[in-house]
Structure 1
Amino acid sequence: MTGTKPVEASPVAATDTPAAPSSETLRFMGIFLAVAPAMFIGSLDQTIVATALPVIAAQLGSLADITWIVTAYLLAATVAAPIYGRLGDAVGRKTVLLGALALFIAGSVACALSPNLTVLVIGRALQGLGGGGLMTLSQALIGEAVSPKERGRFQGWFGAVFATASTLGPVLGGLLSEHVGWRWIFWVNVPLGLAAAVAAMRVEAEEGQGGFSLDVQGTAMFVAATLALLVALSLGSSLGWTSAPVLILLGIGLLGLALLLPVERRVTAPLLSPGLLTQPVVWKSALCVLLFAAALFGALVQLPLMLELVFDVSPTFAGLLLIPLTLAQVCVSTWAGMRMSTTGLPRGPLVWGLGMATLGFVALAATLTLGPIAVAASSVLFGLGLGTTMPAAQTMAQWAGGKARLGASTATLSFSRSVGGVSGTAVTAAILLAAIEHYAPGSAGKVQALVGGGGVERAGLPHEAITSAFRLVFASLAAMTAAATLLAATIPAVDLAAPEPTA
């Protein structure tokens, strides 16, 4: 970059020497490379197991319960994220990140050695307890090391890492389970985790504010409400959304989260800061991220299934057709981060990105009969739009939270992303099955078997009904991103060059 030199980015007295931008770039790359490995493996493990589920079911049995391998990780990671944020703010984010990596590696070893499904699910939960801190703490470490304007660049690169890991996960999981065995999906985490720990040790981090005390009442209430809500979302498609267990769990979860803020206002050191969560920039950004994650994970699950059912392509080819989506997210995420670091104005990329994603989902719903290439082209459009969401939202939330609450603000959006991912997967599956049953009564069971890895005959499914059902699914994703677009437009304008609010 030429000419101007950002005052906040250089601790050295201003000079006219041309070496300053080069040293700043080297520092930028050094910090990013130190924390990106931890974030990558945390993102990768959310999706890498999906394609190996049929193989695991064949060896360990109990296909009906096999989805808990995925759900256990997501549940543990979701409830752990805010706890890591609060703990990192208090005792130091680097120390807590290394502890999270240790838990993650221990859980990976337990999964690789598991003799039965029960031990495997417990191991996945342990993995999730560690994985819940990897992304949150990595982003918070960047936040404490650089100025608010420069955070946009890092968040853009983090968005690229997240998009790459989320899409490569199913492909890598399928290759490992097919060629060397499903246990290597977990063994590979050991060297990756150790490498991430060595890289993280290079970060020069602050010690933390001290004075950490566990908010027992708030933490217990948060964990119980979150678990109830996510288990209800996970079981809705199988038990029925109007079944008594699902409705009871939904009620407990929603009521618990609604009562949490009044409880936290009476606590000296709350797990979730009411002052932070009531800021419009933070809670609106969190809702945008929730809708973004619901749309993204819903698309990542439904797109390959649609390609297999509607166009009868192989799972491998369906996975390859997701590559344009990933590349689009990576490119625009990196660009959006650099753009925000230049202008200091993150709300614009968030609004137009979500709007573009809406157009992409509308185009996808309209081009379902034109072939796989047209579908891949439409996925590029909504991938370009979704790529701006996390860098912009995370940067705004971190600015609004201030440096003292970097961990808490980052964890808030991590929690929203996890809940959104589970919600999007569950809701789109429910819409698909309900639509198929509406258009072709008696066919939904065959699709459920395929989703579970049963490999039912595709020829027995009515083509027009399947196409119409998927069109409705992608239209619902367009509605999610449209709602997020409208919400993003109401977020108060943030100038990252302005002083951060004080806690």
Structure 2
Amino acid sequence: MNQRTEAAVTGAAEPGIHHPPDPAPPSRLAILGLLLGIILATLDGTVVGTALPVIVGDLGGISHLSWVVTAYLLTTAVATPIWGKLGDLYGRKGSYLASIALFLVSSVLCGLAQDMGQLIAFRALQGLGAGGLFVGALALLGTLLPPAQAGRSQSMIGVLLPMAMIGGPLLGGFLTDQLDWRWVFYVNVPVGAAALLIVGHRIRLPAVRTRARIDYRGAALLTTGILALTLIGTLGGTAYGWASPQIAGLAALSVAALGWFVRVERRAPEPLIPPRLFRDRNFTLAQVLSFLVGAAMLAAASYLPQYMQFVRGVSSTESGLLLLPLMLGMMGAQLFIGRAVGNGGGYRGYPLAGGAVATAGALALLMVGADTPTAVTSALTLVLGVGLGCLMQPSMLLTMNSAEPRDMGAASGTTTLLRTIGGSLGVAVLGSVYTSRMTATLTDRLGRTGERLAGGRDLTPAVLRALPEPVRDAVRAGVTGGLHGVMLGTAALCAVTFAAACLIREVPLRTTSGAAADQ
């Protein structure tokens, strides 16, 4: 056996060849800098909602109101895999810092907007930056920490997601009431600046630059497919019927673009989403879990407040607070799993338990009626939250453990993209179920008056309180029936996650970081 072969087997250094030491693990401050980026990306998708009525009153353009949110979500979804691939090719730290800088500049521009057209354009630019925040943080964590040690850090990500989703509207309302709606955007600046400084000074990675071209054709096709899918979710069942020519045309465009994208990726030298990732069964299953969990989580967070406000008569702020058990359940489950896996425990049992518990939690909410005490409804959301938490954490661990170090950015971008698309489509499809069941109940009880009431956009909790008692009872019954439809759909999604989790194999987590593997 020669010296080179012996060194390869034993791990000893070859004579005359200098091997760089393994990189030191990142400090807690460095991990905090990465988590700040995730906070920014997630929070800004929800913080604007409660400020929209004031924004419209100031800037006008109520007919374009939805695009303030849609433009951000569209460009975020489109940019996510592109940022991931840029990080793989040209350096993950530099890519992450660039995305933060773009996000901060566009946040200031949003705060300075003088009309609705400017605000929508700047929100689209902001979404481009936001697409790199989440995927950049995940890719850097996957590079700096081996999966066997990353469980606790990733559990913190799982904690931040529900906090930002539920805390976003509360923060947006507070800033709008106490300061001005423009501070909904300006508040990003100090947080983003802190992330820039911490990551810039505290994270050290070897300079990596690959001579390869970005897959521009694949990026264009993926962008087209995602845009069409998001527009289906935004316009379907609202501006156009699900069977309308417009929605059918968008569906055909999406299928054609994504089908062509798959063909291009198989031949591209450096594909945007490498097909080799999906050769690993656990990676593919992790993406299925991410998609389904995104749909179930956003559907529950979107329609439970409707029940709280219309049926139980609480304010928008109170309805957010009443979802705390859902959030705490998700947080607690992920913290527990992160600690258990970090101490050497297995992970296969958690998605199995999560699928079963989340299905039971969604079905338990079918017991909620128009007269159910608010505290009972709030407490029942805890079961669903625990189940979703047990699904989110393993999906991130499986993604990081299944991808090779060179594909860490693409893998992170894929799981983030699928969670985003799952959430968008889940809210849209289950929202259609919610609307149809509510409309059927109102029409059955009130006739044409109920049909007009369900289709109108002026039905708010404040307006409802001024309507006659029979109308209020009909609306409460309609909203409760709509919630039951959403929960049935959520239970079906969670049951599919259980079936997918049965196929997961317990593969030992890697004990070397991506940075060490790259050296």
TM over 0.5: yes
Aligned AA (1:399) = N
Change (3 A) 1:497 1:219: closer
Matching residue within 504, 510, 514 for 1:491: 504
Change (3 A) 1:418 1:448: farther
Aligned AA (2:256) = L
**1:257-281 deviation per Cα after TM superposition (whole angstroms, max 9, x unaligned):** 1332221111111111011134322
Partner of 1:174: 173
Partner of 1:7: none
Partner of 2:348: 347
Matching residue within 375, 382, 385 for 2:384: 382
Partner of 1:226: 226
Deviation at residue 119 of structure 1 after TM alignment:
0.9
1:138-217 map, 5 Å: 138-201=137-200, 202-217=202-217
* Segments of 4+ moved more than 4 angstroms: 447-455, 497-503
For the 8 Å contact 1:111–1:124, the answer to whether it is kept is yes
Query: How far apart, CA to CA, are the structure 2 residues paired with 1:258 and 1:278?
Result: 18
Change (3 A) 1:454 1:83: farther
Deviation at residue 193 of structure 1 after TM alignment:
1.2
Query: How far apart, CA to CA, are the structure 1 residues paired with 2:459 and 2:181?
Result: 17
Query: How far apart, CA to CA, are the structure 2 residues paired with 1:445 and 1:38?
Result: 44
Query: How far apart, CA to CA, are the structure 1 residues paired with 2:451 and 2:503?
Result: 40
Change (3 A) 1:500 1:34: closer
Aligned AA (1:221) = L
1:398-413 map, 5 Å: 398-413=400-415
For the 8 Å contact 1:304–1:315, the answer to whether it is kept is yes
The answer to whether the aligner puts 1:391 opposite 2:404 as a matched pair is: no
For the 8 Å contact 2:309–2:461, the answer to whether it is kept is no
**1:391-425 deviation per Cα after TM superposition (whole angstroms, max 9, x unaligned):** 21111111111211111111110001110121122
Change (3 A) 1:79 1:111: same
Partner of 2:283: 282
Query: How far apart, CA to CA, are the structure 1 residues paired with 2:253 and 2:154?
Result: 34
Identity %: 32
Deviation at residue 430 of structure 1 after TM alignment:
1.0
Deviation at residue 254 of structure 1 after TM alignment:
2.4
Deviation at residue 155 of structure 1 after TM alignment:
1.0
The answer to whether the aligner puts 1:263 opposite 2:264 as a matched pair is: yes
SS in 2 for 1:204: coil
Matching residue within 412, 428, 431 for 2:430: 428
Query: How far apart, CA to CA, are the structure 2 residues paired with 1:231 and 1:427?
Result: 12
SS in 1 for 2:125: helix
Change (3 A) 1:270 1:77: same
Partner of 2:418: 416
Matching residue within 494, 497, 501 for 1:481: 494
SS in 2 for 1:115: coil
Query: How far apart, CA to CA, are the structure 2 residues paired with 1:335 and 1:448?
Result: 44
Deviation at residue 63 of structure 1 after TM alignment:
2.7
Query: How far apart, CA to CA, are the structure 2 residues paired with 1:137 and 1:187?
Result: 22
Change (3 A) 1:104 1:274: same
Query: How far apart, CA to CA, are the structure 1 residues paired with 2:166 and 2:268?
Result: 41
Partner of 1:14: none
Deviation at residue 78 of structure 1 after TM alignment:
0.7
Query: How far apart, CA to CA, are the structure 1 residues paired with 2:451 and 2:208?
Result: 53
Partner of 2:59: 60
The answer to whether the aligner puts 1:327 opposite 2:340 as a matched pair is: no
SS in 1 for 2:236: helix
For the 8 Å contact 1:400–1:500, the answer to whether it is kept is no
For the 8 Å contact 1:149–1:344, the answer to whether it is kept is no
Deviation at residue 311 of structure 1 after TM alignment:
1.1
Query: How far apart, CA to CA, are the structure 2 residues paired with 1:452 and 1:235?
Result: 20
The answer to whether the aligner puts 1:130 opposite 2:143 as a matched pair is: no
Partner of 1:39: 38
Aligned AA (1:494) = V
SS in 1 for 2:314: coil
The answer to whether the aligner puts 1:79 opposite 2:92 as a matched pair is: no
Unaligned ranges ≥5, structure 2: 1-23
Query: How far apart, CA to CA, are the structure 1 residues paired with 2:458 and 2:40?
Result: 25
Select between 138-147 and 459-468 the one with higher mean Cα deviation: 459-468
Query: How far apart, CA to CA, are the structure 2 residues paired with 1:61 and 1:244?
Result: 31
Deviation at residue 465 of structure 1 after TM alignment:
2.7
Unaligned ranges ≥5, structure 1: 1-23
Q: How many correspondences in the alignment?
A: 480
**1:25-64 deviation per Cα after TM superposition (whole angstroms, max 9, x unaligned):** x955233212111111111011111112222222223333
Select between 119-128 and 364-373 the one with higher mean Cα deviation: 364-373
For the 8 Å contact 2:145–2:513, the answer to whether it is kept is no
CA radius of gyration, larger in: 2
Deviation at residue 102 of structure 1 after TM alignment:
0.8
1:234-313 map, 5 Å: 234-238=234-238, 239-313=240-314
Select between 323-332 and 186-195 the one with higher mean Cα deviation: 323-332
For the 8 Å contact 2:88–2:408, the answer to whether it is kept is yes
Select between 98-107 and 487-496 the one with higher mean Cα deviation: 487-496
**1:461-495 deviation per Cα after TM superposition (whole angstroms, max 9, x unaligned):** 41223222211111111111111121122123322
| CA-atom RMSD in angstroms | 2.3
Partner of 1:50: 49
For the 8 Å contact 2:442–2:454, the answer to whether it is kept is no
